[in-house]
Structure 1
Amino acid sequence: MTFIKTIFTFLITLLLATTTFGQEFKQKTKILLIGTIHFETPHLDVHELKTDDFLAPKRQKELEELTEILKRTNADKVMIEKPFNQQRQVDSLYNAYSQNRYKLTVSEREQIGFRLAKKLNLKHINCVDKFYGMKHDSLVSVTAKEKNQLYLFSELGTTAKSLMQEIDGIVKQNSITEILRYINKNELLQKNLSLYLKYYAKIGAGENYIGAEAVSDWYLRNLAIYSNVITQINSKDKYVILIFGQGHIPILKHLLQNNDDFEVVDVNSALK
């Protein structure tokens, strides 16, 4: 009986040791989050950059250089800011582009995403966006007026304008690779997120918390994007590249850094 008990204890110990060993050496998927400006200026954001011509020969050369650098990652997947429910349409366009039957539009989703995926010989490009409207925005304005908090909108506008002017200067004077290095610095990512956390969240606090609810709309969208990202990555994926509007990156970065299945890659190290 003692012998059987000893064997049982040994097996349990071995099982625990094996499990611990597996956990310690489990391969994490590297994920590179590239925050971009919107090349086509879609006019969906209140505060947005007025971009230059990314179809011009100079910019096209820069896009080739950028995607050649990113090709070195040998990424298993490229994910873009297109709605999850548009995957079939995007598959059709990407397949046509892969066969040289489709000319890329000005969108960074195609100019960077499609171009890079083709260089990586990927059969598929992943759509991971989920659009939630900022449904509380109109109530935010009403509450701000009622609570004499319109000054917050003024301060937010001044800060956003300054941020856009800073990025505009970088865009005008630098290559696309250099632009991406700059706008993905932690300082710039924090400035973007602070527009929500520093100003919006104060509106209605103590009463209806409509400002906090408006911020939650933005977080909800990014949580949905995050859900789409992690469900489209499997254990065989060693490296994934996500290309998204820069404003999304601070939240997505925080979420992925706190998921131990992933290792978030620094943009500047990837774009050397």
Structure 2
Amino acid sequence: MKKLYIALAVAVFALTISVQAQHQKEVLLVGVFHFNNPGADLTKLETFDVMSKKSQQELELITDHIKKFKPTKIFVEWEYNDQLGLDTLYNLYLKDTYFDYVRQKFPKNAFYAQNEIFQLGFRAGKKAGLPKIHAIDCPMDWRYDSLQIAIKKAGQTDLQATIDKQIKEFGELTSGLMKKLTLTQMLLEENKASMRNINLGFYITLLNKGGALDDFTGADVVNAWYRRNLHMYSLVQKLTEANDERVMVIVGAGHAAVFKHFIDLDANYKVVELEEVLKK
């Protein structure tokens, strides 16, 4: 009888997943290099001029296509506990006074003029007629310096060399692409499966095994990265309502790699790639 109950439970679960899959919400997942290049990531990149005439024209065309996708919510990498601050800026953007405001308020801070939240997220939101852009970032303490200390203490010199080599090579690869590709081409490149796999694999292949046999600093660092992304994805799930058939997520490419993994496992959602939207 116990086996029968288990079999019935499995069958009901499978049926539920099947029904959910028929009504999956579409998530336009866009992983980006940070347009204002603050230099906060491990990988140091060349500066890409998103304010150039060519890039601005491309952003207009990209967001025209996103308008056709008809997202009902857009999520961006802004701290979720400062939604009010994001609302204030977006309301200025809707009134066409945003860039005058930030030029006066933050004359030496390129973030507010160049970051993808404003250049891509705000632009797409206004064209889609959205009254709000949603903040989902959950910054956490990411102790990479502690990992390096643990690796040194464990005598894992080969591991540290491999980590440094991969960071350097990935930075050179991305910087090289920035020098020869347009903004649109760069965004498509950042969202290729191969690039996401490099991003995601770095944590598991290398960082996770950092530390001595009884020292799990590496796993703790990877856990902190996953935890941050799980919190962010949880906000997407909670803020997406029943009538939201299509939403958009704009995050750093590293976050997008993890999000793709989450969405592929989530019976309620499916990823729509930027490449698909630009073809329509």
Question: Shift of the alpha carbon at 1:149?
Answer: 0.8
Letter in 2 for 1:62: E
State the SS of the aligned residue for 1:148.
Answer: coil
> Kindly tell me: are residues 151 and 230 of structure 1, through their superposed partners in 2, closer, same or farther at Cα, counting changes over 3 Å?
same
The gaps in structure 1 that reach 5 residues or longer are: 1-15
Question: Shift of the alpha carbon at 1:200?
Answer: 0.9
Provide the TM-score with structure 2 as the length reference. 0.85
Give 1:224-239 correspondences, 5 Å limit.
224-239=231-246
State the SS of the aligned residue for 1:35.
Answer: strand
Taking the aligned partners of 2:257 and 2:263, their CA distance within structure 1 comes to 10
Letter in 1 for 2:37: T
| Structure 1 range deviating more: 214-223 or 159-168 | 159-168
Taking the aligned partners of 1:84 and 1:218, their CA distance within structure 2 comes to 17
Q: Aligned to 2:69, which of 73, 83, 86?
A: 73
Q: Deviations over 1:140-199 (max 9, x none)?
A: 222211211132222112112212222222222222221111111111101112221111
> Kindly tell me: are residues 237 and 205 of structure 1, through their superposed partners in 2, closer, same or farther at Cα, counting changes over 3 Å?
farther
1:31 aligns with 2:27: yes
The gaps in structure 2 that reach 5 residues or longer are: 1-11, 100-111
Provide the TM-score with structure 1 as the length reference. 0.87
> Kindly tell me: are residues 24 and 253 of structure 1, through their superposed partners in 2, closer, same or farther at Cα, counting changes over 3 Å?
closer
Residue 9 of structure 2 is matched in structure 1 by: none
1:218 aligns with 2:225: yes
Contact 1:37 1:246 (8 Å CA) reproduced: yes
Letter in 2 for 1:242: V
Q: Aligned to 2:134, which of 117, 126, 139?
A: 126
Contact 1:134 1:218 (8 Å CA) reproduced: yes
1:41 aligns with 2:48: no
Letter in 1 for 2:118: E
Contact 2:20 2:267 (8 Å CA) reproduced: no
The two structures, once aligned, show a CA RMSD in angstroms of 2.0
Runs of 4 or more above 3 Å deviation: 22-26
Contact 1:66 1:176 (8 Å CA) reproduced: no
Taking the aligned partners of 1:154 and 1:183, their CA distance within structure 2 comes to 25
Q: Deviations over 1:97-147 (max 9, x none)?
A: 101111161111110000010010100001111001213x33322221121
Contact 1:181 1:271 (8 Å CA) reproduced: no
State the SS of the aligned residue for 1:72.
Answer: helix
State the SS of the aligned residue for 1:49.
Answer: coil
Taking the aligned partners of 2:171 and 2:181, their CA distance within structure 1 comes to 15
| Structure 1 range deviating more: 112-121 or 146-155 | 146-155
Taking the aligned partners of 1:207 and 1:133, their CA distance within structure 2 comes to 22
> Kindly tell me: are residues 197 and 25 of structure 1, through their superposed partners in 2, closer, same or farther at Cα, counting changes over 3 Å?
closer
Question: Shift of the alpha carbon at 1:26?
Answer: 5.4
Letter in 2 for 1:128: I
